[in-house]
């Protein structure tokens, strides 16, 4: 039986690291026949990571668009409020007077022109 030394463990890690760099690690472990399965697994993991990043990007866009939509709803409500205020007869008359217009509310009904 061989006794293990700390130097042997260091040599094992060194050999393993150089095998990984050379691309021989799986061959040294005699796992070459499972290479297709390992490559397929890495492909699936990469695909899952890519899809999750795409979902994350889409969700961040949705959140930004929700904030913009909320802001636009507030602006729209303000515009509707202003239009409702301006459309009253009294406000229209005041605005016309301020502008110096001689236009006033009709005193008698409009006449209908017949053909």
Domain ranges of the chain: 31-99
How do residues 68-78 score in pLDDT, each as one tens digit?
999 999 999 99
The Cα–Cα gap between 25 and 17 comes to 8
pTM of the entire structure? 0.49
How do residues 48-93 score in pLDDT, each as one tens digit?
999 999 999 999 999 999 999 999 999 999 999 888 777 677 777 7
The Cα–Cα gap between 104 and 102 comes to 6
Question: Which residues, 6+ apart, have CB-to-CB distance to 86 below 8 Å?
Answer: 92, 95
């Amino acid at each position: 039986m061989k006794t293990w030394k700390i130097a042997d463990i260091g040599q094992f890690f060194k050999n393993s690291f150089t095998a990984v760099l050379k691309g021989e690690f799986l061959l040294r472990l005699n796992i070459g026949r499972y290479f297709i399965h390992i490559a397929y697994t890495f492909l699936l993991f990469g695909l899952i990571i890519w899809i999750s990043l795409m979902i994350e990007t889409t969700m961040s866009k949705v959140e930004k668009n929700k904030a913009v939509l909320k802001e636009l709803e507030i602006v729209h409500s303000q515009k509707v409020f202003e239009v409702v205020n301006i459309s009253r007869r009294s406000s229209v008359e005041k605005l016309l007077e301020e502008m110096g217009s001689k236009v006033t509310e009709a005193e008698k009904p409009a006449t209908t022109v017949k053909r």
